[in-house]
Amino acid sequence: MKSLSPARIALIVACALVLVYLILPVLIIVPISFSSARFLTFPPPSLSLRWYQQYFSNSAWMQATQVTLIVAAFTVVIATPLGVAAAYAISQSKLRIMRMIHMALLLPLVVPIIITAVGIFFIYARVGLVATLPGLVLANVMLGLPYVVISVLAGLQSFDPAQEMVARSLGMNRFRSFFAVTLPQIKSSVVAGAIFAFISAMDETVIALFISGGRYQPLTKRMFTALRDEIDPTIAAISTLMTAASFMLVLVASARQKKAA
């Protein structure tokens, strides 16, 4: 770097302050979760695992965790093939309507989530999907689709379709040539898209607030309800675990995407 002019110093200080603002809230939950105190005290008087114990020994939290993991897993299993097929069709077809379909598939990113949530609640109420597992999965598949489509489309952009033509000219049908030639080369972006869909399902809160209930409440809904009542450090423990899980998955996904690029 060149000499440090006052403008440069100001820039560095401003940038550092903003980064602290960004990162501090994410980090602060870790010491709170390991604190022995019932009420927030900072720094924690002593370290303990009691909030983690509380989480793992509470059957309501455990059931909610199970619901979250099941919903996220089903979401990935369904949204990934649907998203890959759609992205492939969009990249191959020259039909004008494909452009519109592409935009339609991105709708979940455009429509404010509260509107989607209330709308789905009304529809589910009519067909009896409120407070069911399939209802939660379907809603999350819809939310996860854009992530898979965007990621796979990006992957397909750097793939040369001529390769698939070659495979087909050698006698493979379209289906086989896709699995034998195309899929292995876009594998990284497929995995990245699947991971983003998983994280999206894991973090989804607003729709769950409206449509989940009874036995099938995901972790986020229980956390939200608990947060409205009191600040229980158990939530810090859960938050720490959730954040750690997200980071791990994002690391895997971005390593994958790097490999693809």
Partner 1 sequence: MLALVSPALLVILLLIVLPVGWLAWQSIYHDGFTLEHYRRILSEDIYWRSFALTFEISLFVTVLALVLGYPVAYAANAVPKAWSVVILALVLLPFWTSVLVRAYAWLALLQRTGVINQFLRYIDVIGEPLALVHNTFGTVVATVHILLPFMVLPLYATMQKIPNDLMQAGASLGASPAFTFFRVFLPLSLPGVLAGSTMVFVLCLGFYITPELLGGGRTVMVSMLVSRNVELYNQFGAASAVAVVLLLSVLLIFFVVSRFISLDRVLGQK
Asked if 19 is part of the footprint of partner 1 (rule: CB under 8 A), the reply reads: yes
- Residue 110, Ramachandran bin (φ over 0: left; ψ between -120 and 50: alpha; else beta): alpha
Q: Which tokens is 117 given?
A: 């949530």
The single residue among 88, 194, 212, 257 that binds partner 1, judged by CB under 8 A, is 88
32 touching partner 1, by CB under 8 A: yes
- 49 three-state secondary structure: coil
CA atoms of 157 and 218, how far apart (whole Å): 36
Q: Smaller CB distance to partner 1: residue 167 or 211?
A: 211
Q: Which stretch binds partner 1 (CB under 8 A): 25-33, 45-53, 69-77, 162-170?
A: 25-33
196: phi then psi, degrees, rounded to nearest 5: -65, -35
Member of 47, 60, 122, 258 binding partner 1 (CB under 8 A): 122
Q: Which of 9, 14, 47, 73 binds partner 1 (CB under 8 A)?
A: 14
**140-199 positions binding partner 1, by CB under 8 A:** 141-142, 145, 147, 149-150, 196, 199
Q: Residues 6 or more apart from 249 whose CB is under 8 A from it?
A: 195, 198, 199
Gap between the Cα atoms of 96 and 198, Å rounded: 31
d(CA 218, CA 221): 6
| Residue 139 binds partner 1 (CB under 8 A) | yes
Query: By CB under 8 A, how many residues form the interface with partner 1?
Result: 84
Residue 47 within binding range of partner 1, rule CB under 8 A: no
Tell which one of 62, 77, 114, 261 touches partner 1 (CB under 8 A).
114
* Token pair belonging to 193: 């898209």
Give residues 199-258 in contact with partner 1 (rule: CB under 8 A): 199, 202-203, 205-206, 209-210, 220, 223-224, 227-228, 231, 235-236, 239, 242-243, 246-247, 250
Choosing from 9, 15, 47, 261, the residue that interacts with partner 1 (CB under 8 A) is 15
Give the residues across from 47 on adjacent strands: 35
Q: Which residue has the tokens 């060149």?
A: 2
**Shortest spacing between CB 141 and partner 1, in angstroms:** 6
**Residue 1 touches partner 1, criterion: CB under 8 A:** yes
The verdict on whether omega for the bond into residue 108 sits within 30 degrees of 0, i.e. cis, is no
Q: Which stretch binds partner 1 (CB under 8 A): 40-48, 53-61, 155-163, 184-192?
A: 40-48
Which residues touch 16 (CB under 8 Å, ≥6 apart)? none
76 binding partner 1? (CB under 8 A)? no
